[in-house]
Structure 1
């Protein structure tokens, strides 16, 4: 594979195409047990500005990023990546990196000076990607189940 360049075909998915991202995002969110449930959750999230961009191979989605435009006190306006996942068979082919670059460009287009995301602590391969893509770890994220 040395010397081979893989072209990434990226496109934003609209409501009608949401189901195409199910398998890729289910690789990250296995609690989603049906395409119908996934489409319904995304439909609700779209009301809050959630969007999905996908990477395609031979017409099929192999990786996807779900993100939203946000503004808060600590970061100001930014894009927040909720979900970034690649099907296991398509990993290490640059799909997630291409999606991160796409989100960076969209943030610039929208006038956002930064992109943020959270990542589970055991996801070391993802962390290497984020760090090599210019992300830093400025804080810990805490949560509490009720």
Structure 2
């Protein structure tokens, strides 16, 4: 079913709600995804410039896949675009939407003058890792985190 047409566009304001269901697949346990309204408010008011783009299958009103990202500058990486989230509805997987969103965000990173594109991925997400490696990402670090609550 890879030949189904899609479009990609950035979502802002009330349109963020069109990406809620796709993002819920990945991050439904997080408080900002407790409702469409809270998700829209979180994205719209993000203090670090979080942005959201969606891939829409032809004839479907909601995004089948979404990518959340933000520009940042780090000492070790310079100006880069960081991908916080990449999520595809289960029924839309295997249609190239994740790859298409990565290509879209790479073009956006280049447009913004970024030197690099970065993302972290949970160690258990093997299909995602295959996608990232095929797309040209390298495993360049181990990410460590510590809960403070």
| Coarse TM-score class (shorter-chain normalised) | over 0.9
- Counting only pairs closer than 5 Å after superposition, residues 76-95 of structure 1 correspond to structure 2 as 76-95=78-97
CA contact (8 A) 1:54 1:61 kept: yes
Matching residue of 2:17: 19
Deviations 1:55-82 (A, max 9, x none): 0012321000000011010110010001
| Structure 1 runs not aligned, ≥5 long | none
Structure 1 vs Structure 2 CA RMSD: 1.2
CA contact (8 A) 1:10 1:56 kept: yes
CA contact (8 A) 2:84 2:119 kept: yes
Matching residue of 1:7: 5
- Counting only pairs closer than 5 Å after superposition, residues 1-146 of structure 1 correspond to structure 2 as 1=1, 5-31=3-29, 32-45=33-46, 47-57=47-57, 58=59, 59-146=61-148
In 1, Cα distance between equivalents of 2:143 and 2:34: 27
Deviations 1:79-108 (A, max 9, x none): 000110000000010001000000110111
Displacement of 1:34 in angstroms is: 1.3
CA contact (8 A) 1:8 1:98 kept: no
Count of paired positions: 143
Deviations 1:103-144 (A, max 9, x none): 110111111121000011100000000000000110000000
| Structure 2 runs not aligned, ≥5 long | none
Please give the TM-score of this superposition, normalised by the length of structure 2. Answer: 0.91
